Amino acid sequence: MKKGRLFVVSGPSGCGKGTILQEILQDPDLYFSVSATTRQMRPGEVDGVNYRFLSNEKFEELIAEDGFLEYAGYCDHYYGTLRQPVEEHLQAGQNVILEIEVVGAKKIREKCPDAIFLFIMPPSLSELERRLRKRGTETEEVVQQRVSQAAREIQCADSYDYVVVNAELEQAVAEVHAILHSETCKNQNKKEIIREVLKK
């Protein structure tokens, strides 16, 4: 049985990561791993879709059992990636996508050295600023904070396997598709294929 591949996607807020993933996840062969959190569910959110909402006790129990590929505390709440669903889907031969910020991604790299890391970039910081302002949902102060945060995150992009610049959505989606496709035929089980082909 061929194991699935684990893909980790990072990119600053406003880079278009969510829209790209939405397109990519049309593929039923991909499993998107939903993060777990202890924060309150907000109106409109669905457990298991936006997050897996866990109690503080349950989350800490899972930490004690090494149940997370990575986790972190942020604004008095925990956020983390559950190990079990990821490993089950990989074992079943399905490819898994995690969307995760740069610090969490670094932890995943240590636990899963075979994972493939993609960083989605805006074409420039000024374009990112324009996109964030266009949303109209954030104050100017928050926009400036996000741009500074983006600049810090982008400096980590060098350690990713692939950097995709999202200047044109369609082109960026095509690039991510190509990466997923080629990495899944970059078989780790070449020996097995060779044996099969030579058999008859």
* Cβ atoms 86, 78 nearer than 8 A: no
**If you search the block for the tokens 């569910």, which residue do you land on?**
41
In the block, which residue shows the tokens 């350690």?
Answer: 159
Q: How far is the CB of 23 from its own copies (least distance, A)?
A: 16
**Residue of 181, 60, 171 whose CA lies nearest to 120:** 171
- Minimum Å gap between C-beta 110 and its own copies is 21
For its own copies, the binding residue among 161, 169, 170, 173 (CB under 8 A) is 161
Residue 198 as a binder of its own copies (CB under 8 A): the answer is yes
Comparison of 92 and 174: residue with beta carbon closer to its own copies: 174
Contact between 8 and its own copies (CB under 8 A)?
no
Q: Which two tokens stand for residue 176?
A: 């991510």
- Is residue 181 a contact residue for its own copies (CB under 8 A)? yes
Q: The sheet that has 36-37: what strands, in order across it?
A: 52-53, 36-37, 77-82, 68-74
Which residues sit at the interface with its own copies, rule CB under 8 A?
121-126, 151, 154-155, 157-158, 160-165, 174-175, 177-179, 181-183, 185-187, 190-191, 193-194, 196-200
